[in-house]
Structure 1
Amino acid sequence: MTVLSRATAPGSPAEHRAPTVTELRLSAYKSHRGAVFPLGPVTLFSGASGSGKSSVLHMYEALARLGGGAALGAVFPDAAGCVPERAGPDRQGRRGFRIGCTVDGPVGPVRLDLAVQAEPELRIVGERLTCDGQTLLTTALVDPGRSTVQAAWHTAGTVPVTRAPLPDDRLGTALLPLRVAGTTAGQLRVLAAAEQVVVALRSVFACDPQPSRMREPVAMGDARLRRGCDNLAEVLRRTHTQCTKRHARLAAMARSGCAGPVEALTVEELADGKVRALLGRGGALRATPLGRLGDGELRYLALALVLLTGPGVLAMDTVAEVPSAMQALTVLADGFDRSLDGTQTRELAALAAAICADGHIRLVGTVADGAYTRGADGVTVVDLGP
């Protein structure tokens, strides 16, 4: 692994203090062993097919779903495929994988590490939450015949540690607010660390624009952008009427990355109650429906729209109990440069760097070719090799 360029280092004073994932650890996961990846405001993983760059994003999204309370089986339907190649079973026939992350925020860097058994039965067999070298939560599989793990969390009261069973198919850190009373300084510390991790993990939007589903007019009323961006036209109608400054910036991006003259990015309401998006060409030229654009142009516009909006416009489960000012959205974009030409990739990377500089949005993506983003100010490119 080679870091080609580096933005502001995670944990630096200039970085926003909203909870953010600043490091991913793939200790034993698919093709990765002992891999540690620091994350900046914009981090792009580069490499050829099979280099493991998509695995990094898949692991990040898996942690995000676990942080949101999803069951282990729903997050890892093919858990055996996550076990590193050539990893043999132990004497009990067990095989698994190990992943983790670090979340920086108001309480400082908090580490979360998971050991997951994939075979013969899927379960979390070990979880550790630490902050400043102090262990705040540990879980361990004590009785394989039960669907629970033995958990112990820091109390620092008359009883230094509290022990209780937790389900083996859920992230224990996400369950702590339901189990910890918060009556001692130690318990409050545990709750603060757990909340920091959960807020960061839940503040994720995985985006994979599908041009084939973005070409037709869409029904009005669903104005939250979905993962595949198939309702792009309706979201553009919303930004056109409610977010004029951001919409103008998106139109400027269209001028930079779409073929031919572009004067405006508009929407048209059709007689059947649907809406379609148009590129205004200006003068005597007719407007071009977005459905006539190439795959690269559609992906380019969709990713630009994601970066220029936020949780209120994206179809994601927001952390409603935490003020938006205390959250930092992370966009996951596997195939950030898929179908894009060099100019589009450079323009999109520059937009990401500018948007992410204020700390409210972060981007983690993959690119097949890091040449167009290498050296870009504010962008970290991690080369995973062939």
Structure 2
Amino acid sequence: MEDIRAVRPRPTVTELRLSAFTSHRGAAFPLGPMTLFTGASGSGKTTALRAYESLARLGAGAALREVFPDPVACVPERAAADAQGRRGFRIGCTVDGPAGPVRLDLAVQAEPELRVVGERLTGGGRTLLTTALRDPGRRAVQAAWHTAGAVPVTRAPLPDDRLATALLPLRVAGRTEGQRQVLAAAEQTVVALRSLFVCDPQPQLMRRPVAMGQERLRRDCENLAAVLERTWDRCAGRDARLAAAVRAGCAGPVTELAVERFADGTVRALLARDPSGARAATPVERLGEGELRYLALALVLLTGPGVLAAGRVGEVPQELRSLTVLADGFDRSLDRRQAQELLSLAAAVCAEGDLRLLGSVGDASYARAAAGVTVVDLDP
């Protein structure tokens, strides 16, 4: 049977552009199945990941104020205001998929008030959507999208606090070939951006028992034990793979990852050990910070989108979905052995095609020669 992915590639973000965003100017970063930003403190690693997350949230329909609560902090340093006192920032991305490469570029005004002042969606050598702020007194931008019917372009006002690309599927009928091209490009972009799970394990929160009955892992991973209790026995192969990863990254012998249930309805995770024939276990709260972060990240890499608290695009066939995990400080608190083991696991999982990883690391020396890993060095 023909592989649908060979005919219709999964929508994926392949380039992140920070044209003017905090410390970045005129920057374009290629993104592969696994991409790691590296550089000295203050080089802009976290900023780049924050820009990607911002685009993802806008693609999911969030308002500008939700995404940029402190918009002035996004304006490039030393950027001068124009005669009307306006300053802003610009970000964008390229999304590859069934519609071919599609570029999204967004200009946002941060001062004197937060609003979209321009957006452009291009693909197939054609401008598919543009928006512009025509009347500063109105809370709207003038949008124009490709139609190629009786009229070549359709014009309409759209809100100035939302990503117009995310609104197009609700506004474009898809009756003409031009409209269908616009819809395909917009939907491809939105699907790729929305398919994001931000992972920021917080060891101090993972050390306490949590209420049972939770199936979706949160970004701080504090409910890791509850997720294991409800979901892990559904896939023996995944369970064995996680146990192998934990053995490689945690001190002492490990036979499996288990849970302990309490009468009050809470549960905690355990590392089951059997060092000398007498079964023993170590509660995860006794693990070091590096071990807890390693455990959480390994779980995220192996568990898949169905168990992560990430946006689901229900109308997209499973064969065309690809989840991106965003992990700032991917190697934070890890020793070199743990970082290398986690890198190997991430590279193997990303090579399978269901998951992509975008992260930042303090030390990329162990990653530069790894197959399938794109290292973006931000040091001058």
Question: How would you bin the TM-score normalised by the shorter chain?
Answer: over 0.9
Following TM superposition, where does structure 1 have runs of at least 4 consecutive aligned residues deviating by more than 4 angstroms? 13-16
Separation in 1 of the partners of 2:294 and 2:367? 15
Separation in 1 of the partners of 2:6 and 2:252? 40
Kindly indicate whether residue 346 of structure 2 is the aligned counterpart of residue 352 of structure 1. Answer: yes
The aligned counterpart of 2:213 is: 221
* 1:209-262 Cα distance to aligned partner (Å, 9 max, x none): 000000111111112100000001111223431122111111101100001111
Whichever residue aligns with residue 28 of structure 2, its letter is V
Q: Is this contact kept in 1: 2:8–2:320, CA < 8 A?
A: no
Q: Is this contact kept in 2: 1:239–1:246, CA < 8 A?
A: no
The aligned counterpart of 1:93 is: 85
- CA 1:48–1:171 in 2, change beyond 3 Å: closer, same or farther? same
Separation in 2 of the partners of 1:128 and 1:174? 12
SS in structure 2 at match of 1:194: helix
2:315 pairs with 312, 321, 326, which one?
321
- Give the stretch that moved more between structures: 233-242 or 202-211: 233-242
The aligned counterpart of 1:122 is: 114
Q: CA deviation at 1:286?
A: 2.4
SS in structure 2 at match of 1:129: strand
- Give the stretch that moved more between structures: 152-161 or 319-328: 319-328
2:191 pairs with 193, 199, 202, which one?
199
Separation in 1 of the partners of 2:327 and 2:47? 12
Q: Write out aligned runs for 1:36-115 (5 A).
A: 36-115=28-107
Separation in 2 of the partners of 1:335 and 1:207? 10
2:366 pairs with 368, 372, 376, which one?
372
Please, which runs of 5 or more residues in structure 2 have no aligned partner? none
Q: Is this contact kept in 1: 2:214–2:230, CA < 8 A?
A: no
SS in structure 1 at match of 2:54: helix
The aligned counterpart of 2:259 is: 267
SS in structure 1 at match of 2:69: coil
Separation in 1 of the partners of 2:230 and 2:367? 31
Q: Is this contact kept in 1: 2:71–2:114, CA < 8 A?
A: yes
Separation in 2 of the partners of 1:316 and 1:377? 27
Q: Is this contact kept in 2: 1:15–1:359, CA < 8 A?
A: no
Whichever residue aligns with residue 295 of structure 2, its letter is L
Higher RCO (CA < 8 A, seq sep 6+): 1
SS in structure 1 at match of 2:248: helix
Separation in 1 of the partners of 2:372 and 2:22? 29
Q: Is this contact kept in 2: 1:345–1:373, CA < 8 A?
A: no
SS in structure 2 at match of 1:370: coil
The aligned counterpart of 2:355 is: 361
Q: CA deviation at 1:373?
A: 1.8
Separation in 2 of the partners of 1:71 and 1:84? 21
Separation in 2 of the partners of 1:329 and 1:16? 16
* 1:95-122 Cα distance to aligned partner (Å, 9 max, x none): 0000000000001000000000000010
Query: Aligned residue pairs: how many?
Result: 374
- CA 1:358–1:330 in 2, change beyond 3 Å: closer, same or farther? same
SS in structure 2 at match of 1:375: coil
1:31 pairs with 7, 14, 23, which one?
23
1:235 pairs with 204, 222, 227, which one?
227
Separation in 2 of the partners of 1:272 and 1:178? 47
Q: Write out aligned runs for 1:176-191 (5 A).
A: 176-191=168-183
Q: CA deviation at 1:200?
A: 0.3
Please, which runs of 5 or more residues in structure 1 have no aligned partner? 1-12
Q: Is this contact kept in 2: 1:16–1:359, CA < 8 A?
A: no
SS in structure 2 at match of 1:371: coil
Whichever residue aligns with residue 210 of structure 1, its letter is Q
Separation in 2 of the partners of 1:318 and 1:252? 29
- CA 1:231–1:385 in 2, change beyond 3 Å: closer, same or farther? same
Q: Is this contact kept in 2: 1:239–1:247, CA < 8 A?
A: no
1:132 pairs with 115, 120, 124, which one?
124
- Give the stretch that moved more between structures: 281-290 or 125-134: 281-290
- Give the stretch that moved more between structures: 144-153 or 262-271: 262-271
The aligned counterpart of 1:251 is: 243
The aligned counterpart of 1:10 is: none
1:305 pairs with 299, 302, 319, which one?
299
Q: Is this contact kept in 1: 2:37–2:359, CA < 8 A?
A: yes
Separation in 2 of the partners of 1:138 and 1:96? 18
Q: Is this contact kept in 2: 1:349–1:379, CA < 8 A?
A: no
1:151 pairs with 134, 143, 147, which one?
143
Q: CA deviation at 1:383?
A: 1.1
Q: Is this contact kept in 2: 1:150–1:165, CA < 8 A?
A: yes
The aligned counterpart of 1:9 is: none
- Give the stretch that moved more between structures: 125-134 or 277-286: 277-286
Separation in 1 of the partners of 2:353 and 2:149? 37
Q: Is this contact kept in 2: 1:335–1:367, CA < 8 A?
A: yes
Q: CA deviation at 1:58?
A: 0.3
The percent identity for this pair of structures is: 73
